[in-house]
């Protein structure tokens, strides 16, 4: 299946230049709060852009500023995530309701306990995954996709590895900042090598063995 992996973390001109050939960008409103004029040249109609409030960052922008940011800088062909609070489903649900009441059309971010979104929305972002231990993440995603059987298309926030997409047919999008050289781990590959893992990726659908057995495969 085709999956779209978005480049995340573009907040400097040299990073934008390096990621220019990847047509999928997830941009942080927190990192770009002092909106740089140079980025406009990269936000053409041929680039798929999703704006993220960046609430996972240190010193994130406020809810009111995020709305102002969207009003001023989000182009008509862009998408944007709702404002959220990681680990607080109640507050996150409030922000979604309030944004829609104000006329905004954000992509919902599902947190634990908000599984109703999976069958009510056309596109849902699943958050909180990066901070999970690997086995816990696998159990959580199995629950999301196999127990709740979403009809929504799913964006896995912070995910890039094929292993987090292959078992789940409706996991069609992800994003990641691994391409940015911040540590020895990132520098295992050059930026050019990292960037081959972004954009349109063919990731064959391979459901978990226990699901195959249950279906009689």
Query: pLDDT tens digit string along 77-112?
Result: 999 999 999 889 999 999 999 999 999 999 999 988
**Cα distance between residue 119 and residue 153, in whole Å:** 10
What's the average model confidence in pLDDT over 11-32?
Answer: 97
Give the domain extent around 95. 2-214
φ and ψ of 145, to 5 deg: -90, -35
pLDDT at 211 over 70: no
**Cα distance between residue 150 and residue 120, in whole Å:** 9
Residue 189 sits in a domain of what CATH number?
3.20.20
Read off the pLDDT band of 216 (50, 70, 90): very low
Give residue-wise pLDDT tens across range 130-187.
Answer: 999 999 999 999 999 999 999 999 999 999 999 999 999 999 999 999 999 988 888 8
Give residue-wise pLDDT tens across range 173-204.
Answer: 999 999 999 888 888 899 999 999 999 999 99
Domain count, the chain: 1
The DSSP-derived string for 148-175 is S---SEEEETT---GGGTTT-TTEEEEE
What's the average model confidence in pLDDT over 4-24?
Answer: 97
Read off the pLDDT band of 205 (50, 70, 90): very high
- Element housing 34 (H / E): none
**pTM for the structure as a whole:** 0.93
Residue 32 tokens, joined: 């770009």
């Amino acid at each position: 299946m085709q999956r779209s992996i978005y480049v995340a973390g573009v907040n400097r001109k040299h990073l934008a230049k390096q990621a220019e050939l990847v047509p999928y960008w997830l941009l942080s409103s927190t990192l770009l709060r002092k909106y740089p004029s140079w980025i406009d040249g990269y936000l053409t109609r041929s680039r798929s852009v999703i704006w993220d409030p960046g609430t996972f960052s240190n010193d994130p922008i406020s809810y009111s500023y995020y709305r102002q940011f969207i009003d001023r800088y989000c182009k008509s062909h862009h998408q944007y995530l709702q404002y959220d609070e990681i680990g607080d489903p109640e507050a996150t649900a409030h922000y979604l309701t309030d944004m829609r009441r104000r006329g905004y059309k954000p992509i919902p971010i599902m947190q634990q306990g908000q599984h109703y979104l999976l069958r009510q929305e056309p596109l849902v972002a699943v958050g909180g995954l990066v901070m999970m231990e690997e086995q816990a993440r696998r159990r959580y995603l199995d629950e999301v996709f196999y127990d709740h059987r979403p009809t929504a298309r799913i964006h896995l926030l912070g995910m890039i590895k094929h292993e987090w997409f292959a078992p789940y047919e409706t996991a069609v999008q992800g994003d990641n900042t691994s391409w940015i050289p911040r540590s020895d781990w990132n520098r295992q590959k050059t930026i050019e090598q990292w960037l081959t893992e972004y954009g349109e990726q063919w990731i064959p659908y391979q459901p978990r063995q226990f699901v195959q057995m249950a279906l009689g495969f």
